Amino acid sequence: MELQQKIEAILFFKGEPMSRKKLAEFLGVGQIEVNEALEKLKENLKDRGIVLQEKENPASTRGDSSTRGGEITLGTAPELSGLIEKLQKEELNKELSKASLETLSIILYKNGVNRSLIDYIRGVNSSFTLRALSVRGLIEKSLDPEDSRRYIYKPTFELLSFMGVKSVQELPDYELVNNSIESSAQNLAEELQAEESQNDANL
Amino acid sequence: MELQQKIEAILFFKGEPMSRKKLAEFLGVGQIEVNEALEKLKENLKDRGIVLQEKENPASTRGDSSTRGGEITLGTAPELSGLIEKLQKEELNKELSKASLETLSIILYKNGVNRSLIDYIRGVNSSFTLRALSVRGLIEKSLDPEDSRRYIYKPTFELLSFMGVKSVQELPDYELVNNSIESSAQNLAEELQAEESQNDANL
Amino acid sequence: METEAVKDYSYQIKTDAFEGPFHLLLSLIEERKFFINDLSLAQVTEDYLSYVNKLEKQDPSEISSFIVVAATLILIKSKSLLPNLNLTSEEEGDIHNLEERLKLYELYTKLGGNIKSMFGKKIIFAPLERKNDFLVFLPDDRITKESMMTFARDALGRMPKKVFLPEVEVKKVVSIEEMISRLTERIEKTLEMNFKDFAGVAKTKEEKVVVIIGFLAMLELVRQGILHVIQESNFEDIIIKKNNE
């Protein structure tokens, strides 16, 4: 059997996220083979009822995306959300406060960020909000690979799932935001605004 | 989305056998459509790591398979059974993580605790940890008698006897620790209430 | 009793309306359809300060981050009223920094709009927990009566206490209070010497006096607000929670 089929079976059986590294180890193959197989699997799942979700390790980790690792998991296609929701018994919390929206947008679009930067951008202490979002499973913290005395906050699969995206790259304006240097925040904000008014005009 | 994709997502999500009849009812389509979609799905899954499995209903052997109403489910490809067995063994023999032990301790000191309280005490989401504990037979979940949209978790009988106690009350400092958990539960309830009234005010 | 409670409640909603200083500032600027720059910041300073003054009365504990920003706004306002006022490079830096931060904040609030419109609309569901086909019981030697007690106590002990105060912000406030009183002094001097700089702002002598008195009164308000916070931290035990991070 091909590698991609094995990976699909493993992910199906586990039913929860797994790291690319662990997959390679378990299958006794290299990281590059795993990455290639995952690309094929993604292609294969294109018109299916299930999708492959992926999360890269934070960008601050050195190395390009082929060695950066990250986690993957299987989920139901976002287009079938309404159908599957009817089967779901547990209550879903779809409410987000303004503080949560601000904090999540920083964490999602930066794909991993330490707390001081979140506080700096928001101008307020974010401890409460970060704790509440962790408890809801929308974010998780891990040690900063660049500075082991602090944590970085990252989006979880749960967050990507609620957003209906397979990876952060699918978020609207993601490329726009990440390709520009921060100091041109004003330009970006204007571009986004221009885009918005165009969208409004199209409605 | 096509019917076969919907069926694939449903079976993937539920992870347990479902009758053709129930599928048709849930999807609001006829038996014949479901049967056709299942044939297509079977075809599509040909070169994949997961397969459509069918258990025929022995009680009603009359008629052909389309009306017989057997149960169907998704499973890993039979060729990969060796791989999956190895994975399963590895999972079960893995050491329990610190997160798991911590979660287990809360379940022991508050027999019949719901996930939101565990998450609130730990400050992180515990879904995967709870799965790991339950796979190993250390805890069991049941519907919360107070709120049927959520589950409560209890230590299994085997766990208690492994620890050499007949009931959780025999655990050291039971009352003290239990009271402390109870007061956390109260704080959580108050916070949720405050949040709710705030949401109402924002409307 | 009844009406009292209702009043408190509506107060509550008002203060909760702004999450922080940037939210307030950006709302004031957007209300006027301005862009973020020193001119627009100077224009909204009064509104900002009167809001902070109101907030200070209702919820002194919430105010420290608002006051840090207030101090910079006063600098901007002073400069716009008194072009002759010389700012130190640190003060210039503060002003530039505030503009940059506000632009960043604006960017992420816009992006937050994407999140608001998408969250929970098309959910990707992870599979439900698989039922165990076979019964297993796999304990671990580390599960003992004693270890379980320690784990539970540790977890409970790590929970945050109810009061959080941003330690850094409180410290900053002390020095900003000093800065403002120095600035007030400087402004008073500058006003005496360069009264004609005001020509563009106020035409008649009476108008000039009104502008100056109003401006100084505004500074005074903020100064008092800051003092209040400092007193709180001197006479009352503010629990400064050290985060586990």
pLDDT of residue C11: 31
A contact residues 137-176, partner B, Cβ 8 Å cutoff? 137, 140, 156, 158
pLDDT bin (cut points 50, 70, 90) of residue C163 is: very low
Nearest to A172 among C107, C114, C169 (CB): C114
Residue of C nearest to B162 (CA): C139
Cβ neighbours of B180 (radius 10 Å): 20
Q: In what order do the strands lie in the sheet with A139-144?
A: A113-114, A147-155, A139-144
Nearest to A9 among B10, B77, B131 (CB): B77
Query: How high is the mean pLDDT of chain A?
Result: 86
Q: Is A27 helix (H, G, I), strand (E, B) or coil?
A: helix
Q: Residues of chain B with pLDDT > 70: what percent?
A: 90
Residue B164 · residue B145 · CB < 8 Å: no
pLDDT at A60 over 70: no
A contact residues 93-112, partner B, Cβ 8 Å cutoff? 95, 97
Which residues in C lie closer than 8 A to residue B96 (C-beta atoms)? Answer: 140, 142-143
Question: Considering only CA atoms, which of C61, C63, C56 is closest in space to residue C20?
Answer: C63
Determine what percent of chain C falls in helix, strand and coil, rounding each to the nearest 5. 70, 0, 30
Tell whether the torsion through CA atoms of B99, B104, B107 and B109 is positive or negative: negative
Residue A76 · residue C125 · CB < 8 Å: yes
**Sequence-ordered alpha helix ranges (H) in chain B:** 3-14, 20-27, 31-44, 65-68, 81-93, 98-109, 115-122, 127-135, 157-163, 174-202
Which residues in B lie closer than 8 A to residue C149 (C-beta atoms)? Answer: 105, 109, 171-173, 177
Q: Which chains touch C (3 or more CB pairs under 8 A)?
A: A, B
A20 vs A36: CA distance, rounded Å? 11
Quote the tokens at residue A59: 């960008």
pLDDT of residue A104: 97
- Is A80 within 8 Å of B5 when comparing Cβ atoms? yes
**Buried-state track B71-92, b at ≥16 Cβ within 10 A, e below 16:** bbbbbbbeebeebbeebeeeee
Chain C nearest CA to B90, separation (Å): 13
Q: What is the pLDDT of residues B110-142, one digit of tens each?
A: 999 999 999 999 999 999 999 999 989 999 999
Chain B nearest CA to C16, separation (Å): 9
Nearest to B165 among C13, C145, C151 (CB): C145
- Is C138 within 8 Å of B156 when comparing Cβ atoms? no
Q: Residues of chain A with pLDDT > 90: what percent?
A: 61
Which residues in A lie closer than 8 A to residue B4 (C-beta atoms)? Answer: 49
- Is B95 within 8 Å of C140 when comparing Cβ atoms? yes
Q: What is the pLDDT of residues A105-145, one digit of tens each?
A: 999 999 989 988 898 899 888 888 999 999 999 999 988 88
pLDDT bin (cut points 50, 70, 90) of residue B147 is: confident
On whether any CB of chain B is under 8 Å from the CB of A1, the answer is yes
